Amino acid sequence: MSALAPFNGEPAIEGVNLVFANKVAPVVKGGCGRKKKRVTYWRKHFMPLSDILCWPTVVTGPPLPPAPDVAQFVVGPPGWTTLPTTAGFHPDLVARRLRHRRQITGESAPEIVAPAQAIEPAFGIPADIRRAIAGETTDEERKELKRPRVIFSSSLRRNDPFFDQAAERVLSPT
């Protein structure tokens, strides 16, 4: 049996694993001993990086005619085309998946004292994030970042007819 395989109902170890911060912070805040630095201590809380990075692709409708001045690379027989798609990581769906993962990894363990914060989507995009999405951040703003950030973007909206399709697939196994 591999040490990386699922064990006693606990998650497999899949290269990069994530643990909710409310589980980690109270344990490492004052320093932690050798026992709490072991994989066996944290494994029950692991979730794979794919839970954050791998989202369903949603077909968003019939293909649009190509613009005459756009270069296209199509692999396949003549006349073959791809359907327009978007990633299904809408903020509502991200929150839904993270709440689901929190349930799977277990929210209450006696050694964890930090309360879990609600996982809900926020409304509005802060101005600095909007500038980053548009590629308009300054060197000074990048220097002031306290930690690196990743910005995900999706054209999926709550009122899209494809939203329910993405919602169904967000919790299904990949």
Residue by residue, DSSP assigns the chain as: --TTS-BTTBPPP-SSEE--HHHHHHHHTT---GGGGSHHHHGGG-EETHHHH---EEE-SSPPPPPTT------SSTT-----EEE---HHHHHHHHHHHHHHH-S--TT--SPPPP-----S--HHHHHHHTT---HHHHHH-SS----------TTSTTHHHHHHHHSS--
Task: Out of 83-92, 105-114, 125-134, pick the least confident.
Answer: 105-114
What mean pLDDT is predicted for residues 11-33?
81
Chain-wide mean pLDDT for the chain?
A: 76
Is the whole model's pTM more than 0.95, yes or no?
A: no
Residue 112 confidence class, pLDDT cut points 50, 70, 90: very low
Per residue in 48-67, pLDDT tens?
A: 888 888 877 777 666 666 66
- From 84, 103, 70, 77, select the one nearest 156 (Cα to Cα): 84
Per residue in 65-74, pLDDT tens?
A: 666 776 666 6
Domain boundaries along the sequence of the chain:
17-61+85-120+156-170
